[in-house]
Structure 1
């Protein structure tokens, strides 16, 4: 095995990749994955050893109907494609309470879904409780994804994970939603949570600062049982941990040799690289990572900065100092009014 000279000291021994190319990656293609691409990716991932595969709209079950961003392929059709294509790997979908209703979770479970990931902001995990209970009753492997994990200190993260474990979640994900964590911080928070709460942990990273793969390795080494990846790192904003790279890194570090990273690289090359992707402003992504500002707030910040004739990135940094969770338009306007106006040219 290539890289066999690498020391295994400190490496995790059982970290598993959950691939969410067909879910998080849908943002990058404006939710326009075709049935042919979905089938090819599902089949290719399974053949390369990936055992957990997530698909569907980026914002999860029912998002195509509840929001103004429909997918080319419906939830129901995704259920069928996954069930028809996969016979060894498990498939699942994302579920945000409020975007999805209990009926949508039940429909997916009855259609053969194996696992669900329930997404809630870490500052208010209570909406997950009823969905966790329903998912467990429906026989689904049940995770909670703590979006915007970065906005709380470590003791707050521990408490949020403890509450989700109390709801009955079998696994809890820490999510670097803004791509702003550094590897040392990831190691510290995973070690703290793993030492305090007896529940399987997962990591979902974004690549604003180019550290998604390094952070994924840090998480796996520090106690994460599951680590997300996407082919070619495709995903919302700057993208995610790259599945094929993570599989190769895991092989070199002897974390696991269960994945065929060469097959994953070919799948990435053949299926992801040819796709037209949405343009993402690199400055926004870098500053967003540095200030730990979620990309969903970029339109609000831009609008308020233009109205006040101030620098949008100075505004982003100033707002992040006060509220990185749910900054209101009123707050952003107030902060913008106090910044120096740009010189007109």
Structure 2
């Protein structure tokens, strides 16, 4: 990935950290955060200086009602408990157009939701389908972020074109989601630069970054995003999140402090992480997660990889690598099976 864009530093202090422990982290604890966990973590994060918090089911609003993956509590219970615990912190939830509907947004607003993060994959069809929910949430007075998942599956310029479409729906920010933890710091900057170039002249439109830690680069990439001018950076206590996890909030705030950004008290955040996350952060950078990061493979497809690898007696890591040479955005069981069959010589 190369570019002739002029490298530039944005050393303003206007960006915000958004802690997503209680949403992305719920993937790592089988969606079993309690309302007590929610209250304690929200209070602790706010004490530590964090001003934005994403909570709820890892798959977003409506997932407990409409999928087989049940969270311990309802969306309304999570939002209400966070709202009670928070003094000034902004509380948000995730939303997938394939799961949630407008009634979920209405119920969340009634419970005190401040912002909604709508998450299409990086293709125009999904972005346009998500647009009606962005417009609806904006009409209801919410701050809205469009979190483009699997952003690495398209070039920086193509992602910027997608963001231009999103802009027309009225979103307040576009979040670049490195869902597989595959981007390097210099590549992260290229995505931020492309987005900023596309949005030049639109001061209301902000850009954010959501890293995963498959290559142990989530903090480095987040710092690169800040240097390139990102307005929002996502993180989780102890890095607790899907697959290899995310940038650890307590480590990221310490690193930011080293380069002149005061975004929280990392000592308080470290204490909160130890007390309320502790052993919950059990997912580590195992060999298969490393393969995900190297190849740009989203862990949601892994069950299909496991099955095909077992059927054709293959190393699942090798199957991940070969599959991603062909496709990274929309994998199907048939596609993976065909790759496995060819690899095995059947």
So what's the TM-score if we normalise by structure 1?
A: 0.93
Distance in 1 separating the partners of 2:284 and 2:48: 30
Report the alpha carbon displacement of residue 334 of structure 1 after superposing the two structures with TM: 1.2
Report the alpha carbon displacement of residue 310 of structure 1 after superposing the two structures with TM: 2.2
Is the counterpart of residue 307 in structure 1 residue 311 in structure 2?
A: yes
Q: Which residue matches 1:211?
A: 217
Report the alpha carbon displacement of residue 11 of structure 1 after superposing the two structures with TM: 3.6
1:146 to 145, 148, 156: 148
Q: Which residue matches 2:229?
A: 223
Q: Which residue matches 2:186?
A: 184
Q: Where do 1:98-113 residues align within 5 Å?
A: 98-113=98-113
Q: Which residue matches 2:3?
A: none
Q: Deviations over 1:235-272 (max 9, x none)?
A: 00110011111111111111x31411111111011111
Report the alpha carbon displacement of residue 311 of structure 1 after superposing the two structures with TM: 2.5
Report the alpha carbon displacement of residue 75 of structure 1 after superposing the two structures with TM: 0.8
2:296 to 292, 296, 314: 292
Q: Deviations over 1:100-145 (max 9, x none)?
A: 0111011111221000100110113112211111111111001000
Q: Where do 1:76-87 residues align within 5 Å?
A: 76-87=76-87
Distance in 1 separating the partners of 2:315 and 2:85: 49
Q: Deviations over 1:259-301 (max 9, x none)?
A: 1111111101111114374x56711100010000000111101
Q: Which runs of 5+ in 1 are unaligned?
A: 1-8
Q: Which residue matches 1:40?
A: 40
Q: Deviations over 1:1-25 (max 9, x none)?
A: xxxxxxxx76442221000100010
Report the alpha carbon displacement of residue 204 of structure 1 after superposing the two structures with TM: 0.5
Q: Which runs of 5+ in 2 are unaligned?
A: 1-8
Q: Give aligned pairs, total.
A: 332
Distance in 2 separating the partners of 1:183 and 1:211: 8
Distance in 2 separating the partners of 1:237 and 1:30: 12
Report the alpha carbon displacement of residue 28 of structure 1 after superposing the two structures with TM: 1.1
* 1:205–1:276 Cα change, 3 Å: closer
Q: CA RMSD in A?
A: 1.6
Q: Deviations over 1:205-247 (max 9, x none)?
A: 1000000000011011101100001000000011001111111
* 1:216–1:258 Cα change, 3 Å: closer
Report the alpha carbon displacement of residue 59 of structure 1 after superposing the two structures with TM: 0.6
* 1:52–1:281 Cα change, 3 Å: closer
Paired residues of 1:177 and 1:206 also in contact (CA < 8 A): yes
Paired residues of 1:10 and 1:221 also in contact (CA < 8 A): yes
Q: Which residue matches 2:168?
A: 166
2:331 to 311, 320, 327: 327
Q: Which residue matches 1:193?
A: 195
Is the counterpart of residue 264 in structure 1 residue 269 in structure 2?
A: yes
After TM superposition, what 4+ stretches of structure 1 lie above 6 angstroms from structure 2? none
